[in-house]
Amino acid sequence: MRKIVVQNSSRGRGRAIKRFLSYGVTQVGLVCLVFFVVVAAMPDILVGPLQTAINATGDFLVPPSGEHLLGTDEVGRDVLNLVVHGARISLTIALFATVISLVVGTAIGMTAGYYGGRVDVWLMRLTDFFFVMPSFVLALVITPVVLEVMGRGGDILGFRPSLFVIIVVIGMTSWAFVARVVRSQTLSLKERTFIDRARVAGSSNLTIMMGHIFPNLVPQIAANGALVVAGAIYIETSLSFLGLGDPLQPSWGTLLSQAQRAGAASAGAWWYLGAPGVCVLTVSLSFVLIGNALDDTFNPRRRVIP
């Protein structure tokens, strides 16, 4: 009997994966995402080391040409070089912030849904605060304060202080929606027969939550995680655009900020603003498409993508 269950489970996962990959939006999102991941993984191989004002060789605000495919900036740096190196910073910040957000949101939502009572009430009131307060506003207020308190000393876990603070702040302010979704699913799962059997067998609450409830939450967590990444990219871009990024490790938001300060819009340097802007929109849209496809794959009430 156990072998039959495993085979059926494997067959079910296989059908879900095929359904997910069959959607056109999935294919578009994955192609774009794989492209940017490859670019972010090896920027030095693709465009060479990060250019600075010291080693810039191009002319000022030169439009795209054969020598500079995306033109140059106000100090003569190649915009393509900056955009490719910025991909690593933007994607790294977004992915690590999403991991923090998913861990916090899953832990709070699962605890609230499983235990109920006062635990549920207090955790949901905390969630409501972060839910109604825009993540960007919280991050905008908290980030400069934390940076001032921490100072700008040595690297933290391999990240410069400003990048580390942005990662933590985005992750700690973007978990409310995940917590809500996880709580609602946990409320349904804890009433299932297999949970009652686990209790009768003497399993502890932690074992039930991690061994029986959490595996059934993974599809929903993955679907919402893709959407959280898109939101994290927008928040990081906005914070960096307002000057809270690290100029020594420029992200796409930092490039947009530098272009704005250089007067790229009034100078007609559309490539300077357009290149990082298109990257932000494309990557965010890719994660949204993948998240919607995952939701349609695992949600029985949403089997067809219009």
We report the CATH number of the domain holding residue 110 as: 1.10.3720.10
CA distances from residue 247 to 163, 241, 274 in whole angstroms, order as listed: 10, 11, 19
For residue 200, tell me if it sits in a domain: yes
CB within 8 Å of 56: residues ≥ 6 apart: 72, 75, 76, 77, 78
Residue 219: closest CA among 194, 192, 191, 185: 185
State how far the Cα of 35 lies from the Cα of 204, in Å rounded to an integer. Answer: 45
Query: pLDDT band at 6, cuts 50/70/90?
Result: very low
State how far the Cα of 219 lies from the Cα of 111, in Å rounded to an integer. Answer: 18
Host domain of residue 120:
71-298
For residue 305, tell me if it sits in a domain: no
For residue 40, tell me if it sits in a domain: no
Q: Is the pLDDT assigned to residue 3 strictly greater than 60?
A: no
For residue 255, tell me if it sits in a domain: yes
- Output the pLDDT for position 134: 76
State how far the Cα of 278 lies from the Cα of 87, in Å rounded to an integer. Answer: 12
- Note if the pTM is more than 0.85: no
Q: How many CB atoms lie within 10 A of CB 254?
A: 26
Tokens of 91: 């994607």
- Output the pLDDT for position 269: 87
For residue 35, tell me if it sits in a domain: no
- Output the pLDDT for position 306: 43
Q: What is the mean pLDDT of the chain?
A: 82
- What average pLDDT does the segment 119-146 reach? 84
For residue 250, tell me if it sits in a domain: yes
For residue 227, tell me if it sits in a domain: yes
Residue in this structure with the two tokens 């009768």, named with its chain if needed? 200
Lowest-confidence segment of 33-42, 155-164, 259-268 by average pLDDT: 155-164
For residue 13, tell me if it sits in a domain: no
The β-bridge partners of 156 are: 159
In the chain, the number of structural domains is 1
Residue in this structure with the two tokens 């910040």, named with its chain if needed? 93
Lowest-confidence segment of 9-13, 25-29, 148-152 by average pLDDT: 9-13
State how far the Cα of 32 lies from the Cα of 51, in Å rounded to an integer. Answer: 25
- Output the pLDDT for position 167: 87
- What average pLDDT does the segment 151-172 reach? 69
Tokens of 103: 């861990």
Lowest-confidence segment of 1-15, 141-155, 197-211, 276-290 by average pLDDT: 1-15
- Output the pLDDT for position 152: 55
